[in-house]
């Protein structure tokens, strides 16, 4: 039996009912270009393979790769194994449109989400198992405690919804946190309000850098009083009070002045 490795944040899904619910949410079709991040011991891999003509998997753990290669000798028309770090994997090497699924390592979930976001134009949808706290932050509304930088930086380019809760006892070993499944669907290019993504990211990072301070303080290097007035944004508000649309308006305003 494979021993879970802490350095890879491994917790293996074993609950058959949850597995069935996840597959039901994904609804894989035979011709889908589907990529599984971190197949682990195959909880999702096996049912996916029953429905797909081909499945790509990205795995960093050499022991798991060896198990997969033993079960599916490479090259294999059904299961294509990509050995390496998902954070460095170039999704542009695979045919689009892509569907991505996975039980993401909780210790690097945010960097992985941002990495996959860079390929949004090539992606149909993504279904991920994540720490519930992270999912709550992803889908949070403005002026709520969970709303923050992660919320804004993902919501400007994805429609997201929490699908189901997954308790710790659904895994071996059981994590110390609750988990959840989230669906992410890239917004059509015409609906993305942000044009200068670098500037937008800088503004959001600055605004949430000291989230208890007002925008007058956190965005001091970006906006003066006249700028706030022109935008119709109260400088006494905090970052958590601004919608994604308002952040994008700030970025567009500053970009036009550059």
Which tens digits make up the pLDDT trace of 99-145? 999 999 888 999 999 999 999 999 999 999 999 999 999 999 999 99
CA distances from 97 to 33, 35, 50, 108, 156 (A): 7, 11, 20, 25, 20
Regarding whether 171 and 201 lie in a shared domain, the answer is: no
Band (pLDDT 50/70/90 cuts) for residue 6 is very low
Rounded mean pLDDT of 47-70?
95
Does residue 1 sit within a domain? no
Regarding whether 211 and 92 lie in a shared domain, the answer is: no
What is the pLDDT, as a whole number, of residue 7?
44
Do the Cβ atoms of 176 and 13 come closer than 8 Å? no
What is the domain extent for residue 210?
197-257
Band (pLDDT 50/70/90 cuts) for residue 10 is low
Do the Cβ atoms of 129 and 135 come closer than 8 Å? no
Band (pLDDT 50/70/90 cuts) for residue 45 is very high
Tally the domains of the chain. Answer: 2
DSSP state of 78: S
Report the chain's mean pLDDT, rounded to a whole number: 94
Q: Report which of 21, 187, 201, 4 is spatially closest to residue 106, judged by C-alpha positions.
A: 4
* pLDDT over 70 at 36, yes or no: yes
What is the pLDDT, as a whole number, of residue 149?
97
Rounded mean pLDDT of 215-232?
97
CATH number at residue 143: 3.40.50.150
Regarding whether 105 and 25 lie in a shared domain, the answer is: yes
């Amino acid at each position: 039996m494979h021993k879970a490795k802490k350095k890879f944040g491994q917790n293996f899904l074993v609950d058959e009912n949850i597995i069935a619910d996840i597959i039901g949410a994904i609804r894989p079709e035979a011709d889908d270009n589907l990529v599984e991040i971190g197949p682990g011991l195959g909880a999702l891999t096996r049912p996916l393979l029953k429905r797909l003509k081909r499945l790509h998997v990205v795995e960093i753990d050499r022991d798991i790769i060896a198990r997969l290669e033993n079960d599916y000798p490479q090259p294999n028309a059904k299961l294509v194994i990509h050995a390496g770090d998902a954070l460095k994997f170039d999704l542009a090497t695979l045919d689009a449109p892509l569907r991505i699924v996975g039980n993401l390592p909780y210790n690097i979930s945010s960097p992985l989400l941002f990495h996959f976001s860079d390929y949004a134009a090539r992606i149909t949808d993504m279904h991920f198992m994540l720490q519930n706290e992270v999912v709550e932050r992803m889908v949070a509304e403005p002026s709520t405690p969970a709303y923050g930088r992660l919320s804004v930086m993902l919501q400007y380019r994805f429609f997201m919804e929490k699908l189901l809760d997954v308790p710790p006892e659904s895994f071996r070993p059981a994590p110390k946190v609750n988990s959840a499944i989230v669906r992410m669907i890239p917004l059509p290019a015409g609906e993305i309000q942000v044009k200068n993504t670098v500037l937008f990211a800088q503004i959001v990072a600055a605004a949430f850098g000291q989230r208890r301070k007002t925008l007058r303080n956190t965005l001091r290097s970006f906006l003066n009083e006249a700028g706030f007035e022109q935008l119709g944004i109260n400088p006494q508000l905090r970052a958590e009070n601004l919608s994604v649309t308002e952040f994008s308006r700030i970025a567009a305003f500053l970009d036009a002045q550059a």
